Amino acid sequence: MKDQKKELAAAIAGALENFEEDKVAQLIETPPDSAMGDYAFPCFKLAAVYHKAPQKIAEELAEKLRGNGAFADVKNVNAYVNFFMNRADVGGSVIGDVIAEGDDYGKSDVGGGRPVIVEFSSPNIAKPFHIGHIRSTVIGASLAKIYKALGYDVIRINHLGDYGTQFGKMIVAYRKWGNEEDVKREPIKTLLGYYVKFHEEAENDPSLDDEARATFTKLENGEKEEVEIWQWFREESLKEFSRVYDMLGIEFDSYAGESFYSDKMPRVEKMLEDKGLLQESEGAQIVDLSDYDMPPALIKKKDGSTLYITRDITAAIYRKETYDFYRNIYVVASQQNLHFKQLFKIIELMGYDWANQCIHVPFGMVSLEDGTMSTRKGKVVFLIDVLNKSVEKTREIIAEKNVPEELLDKTAHDVGIGAVIFQELSNNRIKDYTFSWDKVLNFDGETGPYVQYTHARCSSVLRKAGREADELLAGNITPDMSKLTGDVVYELIKAIGRFPDVVLEAGEKYEPSIITRHITDIAELFNKFYHDEHILVEDRDERLAKLAVTAATKQTIKNGLALLGIVAPDRM
Ligand code: ARG
Amino acid letter, residue 201: E
How do beta strands 297-300 and 115-119 pair?
unpaired
Ligand 1 proximity of 358 Cβ (cutoff 6 Å): no
Q: What angle do CA 218, 221, 225 make, to 5 degrees?
A: 50
Amino acid letter, residue 332: V
pLDDT tier for residue 439 given thresholds of 50, 70 and 90? confident
Confidence check: pLDDT of 240 > 70:
yes
Output the pLDDT for position 383. Answer: 81
CB 441 within 8 A of CB 393: yes
Amino acid letter, residue 517: R
Sequence-ordered list of residues with C-beta below 8 angstroms from that of 320, at least 6 positions apart, any chain: 328, 352, 354
C-alpha 366 – ligand 1 centre gap (Å): 16
Q: Do you know the residue count of the chain?
A: 572
Sign of the dihedral through C-alpha 459, 465, 467, 468: negative
Output the pLDDT for position 490. Answer: 95
**Hey, which residues are catalytic here?**
127, 130, 133
C-alpha 161 – ligand 1 centre gap (Å): 6
Output the pLDDT for position 351. Answer: 97
Q: Which helix (H) or strand (E) holds 358?
A: strand 358-361
CB 299 within 8 A of CB 346: no
The CA distance from 316 to 159, in Å, is 11
Output the pLDDT for position 373. Answer: 54
Closest of 156, 323, 367 to residue 245, by C-alpha: 156
Mean pLDDT for the stretch of residues 116-142: 89
> Which atom belonging to ligand 1 lies closest to the Cα atom of 312?
10
Give the C-alpha distances (Å, rounded to integers) separating 298 from 177, 225, 342: 33, 29, 10
Sequence-ordered list of residues with C-beta below 8 angstroms from that of 547, at least 6 positions apart, any chain: 461, 462, 465, 468, 469, 472, 479, 535, 536
Closest of 444, 341, 386, 445 to residue 135, by C-alpha: 386
C-alpha 154 – ligand 1 centre gap (Å): 19
Give a three-class secondary structure readout of 423-452.
HHCCCCCCCCEEECHHHHCCCCCCCHHHHH
CB 162 within 8 A of CB 257: yes
Closest of 508, 447, 414 to residue 147, by C-alpha: 508
The CA distance from 424 to 456, in Å, is 22
Mean pLDDT for the stretch of residues 119-131: 84
Mean pLDDT for the stretch of residues 130-145: 90
The CA distance from 533 to 490, in Å, is 14
20 vs 437, which has greater pLDDT? Answer: 20
> Which atom belonging to ligand 1 lies closest to the Cα atom of 161?
1
Ligand 1 proximity of 559 Cβ (cutoff 6 Å): no
Confidence check: pLDDT of 376 > 70:
no
Q: Which helix (H) or strand (E) holds 117?
A: strand 115-119
Mean pLDDT for the stretch of residues 211-216: 92
C-alpha 123 – ligand 1 centre gap (Å): 7
Give a three-class secondary structure readout of 459-470.
HHHHHHHCHHHH
The CA distance from 248 to 566, in Å, is 9
CB 147 within 8 A of CB 507: yes
CA 142 from chain centre, in angstroms, equals 4
The CA distance from 141 to 523, in Å, is 23
Output the pLDDT for position 33. Answer: 82
pLDDT tens sequence across 303-335:
777 789 999 999 999 999 999 999 999 999 999
Q: How far apart are the first and last CA of the chain?
A: 33
Confidence check: pLDDT of 372 > 60:
no
C-alpha 124 – ligand 1 centre gap (Å): 8
Ligand 1 proximity of 259 Cβ (cutoff 6 Å): no
In testing the pocket of ligand 1, which one of 158, 159, 319 has its CB within 8 Å of the most ligand atoms? 159
> Which atom belonging to ligand 1 lies closest to the Cα atom of 339?
11
Ligand 1 proximity of 161 Cβ (cutoff 6 Å): yes
Mean pLDDT for the stretch of residues 481-489: 92
Ligand 1 proximity of 139 Cβ (cutoff 6 Å): no
- Residue 84 CB: number of other CB atoms within 10 A? 16
Span of 74-88, 362-376, 439-453 with lowest mean pLDDT: 362-376
pLDDT tier for residue 214 given thresholds of 50, 70 and 90? very high
Q: What percent of the chain has pLDDT over 70?
A: 97
Confidence check: pLDDT of 2 > 60:
no
Ligand 1 proximity of 24 Cβ (cutoff 6 Å): no
Q: What angle do CA 184, 189, 190 make, to 5 degrees?
A: 55
Q: What percent of the chain has pLDDT over 90?
A: 75
C-alpha 277 – ligand 1 centre gap (Å): 24
The CA distance from 73 to 396, in Å, is 53
Closest of 382, 374, 366 to residue 188, by C-alpha: 382
Ligand 1 proximity of 332 Cβ (cutoff 6 Å): yes
C-alpha 272 – ligand 1 centre gap (Å): 22
pLDDT tens sequence across 395-419:
998 888 878 889 999 999 999 999 9
In testing the pocket of ligand 1, which one of 332, 341, 347, 361 has its CB within 8 Å of the most ligand atoms? 332
The CA distance from 6 to 55, in Å, is 24
The CA distance from 16 to 21, in Å, is 10
Output the pLDDT for position 211. Answer: 95
Q: What angle do CA 315, 217, 284 make, to 5 degrees?
A: 70
- Residue 333 CB: number of other CB atoms within 10 A? 15
Output the pLDDT for position 65. Answer: 92
CB 139 within 8 A of CB 512: yes
Ligand 1 proximity of 159 Cβ (cutoff 6 Å): yes
C-alpha 310 – ligand 1 centre gap (Å): 13
- What is the 8-class DSSP label of residue 285? E
In testing the pocket of ligand 1, which one of 122, 192, 373 has its CB within 8 Å of the most ligand atoms? 122
Give nearest CA residue, ligand 1 atom 6: 122
pLDDT tens sequence across 501-543:
999 999 999 999 999 999 999 999 999 999 999 999 999 999 9
The CA distance from 276 to 354, in Å, is 20
Radius of gyration of the chain (CA): 28
Ligand 1 proximity of 124 Cβ (cutoff 6 Å): yes
> Which atom belonging to ligand 1 lies closest to the Cα atom of 333?
12
The CA distance from 218 to 246, in Å, is 35
Order across the sheet with 39-42: list the strands: 39-42, 80-84, 73-77
Mean pLDDT for the stretch of residues 49-78: 91
3 vs 95, which has greater pLDDT? Answer: 95
Ligand 1 proximity of 344 Cβ (cutoff 6 Å): no
Confidence check: pLDDT of 551 > 70:
yes
pLDDT tier for residue 471 given thresholds of 50, 70 and 90? very high
pLDDT tens sequence across 73-105:
999 999 999 999 999 999 999 999 999 999 999
Across the chain, what does the average pLDDT equal? Answer: 92
Confidence check: pLDDT of 377 > 70:
no
The CA distance from 450 to 311, in Å, is 43
Output the pLDDT for position 68. Answer: 81
C-alpha 386 – ligand 1 centre gap (Å): 22
14 vs 557, which has greater pLDDT? Answer: 557
Give nearest CA residue, ligand 1 atom 11: 312
Confidence check: pLDDT of 544 > 70:
yes
pLDDT tens sequence across 195-209:
889 999 999 999 999
pLDDT tier for residue 188 given thresholds of 50, 70 and 90? confident
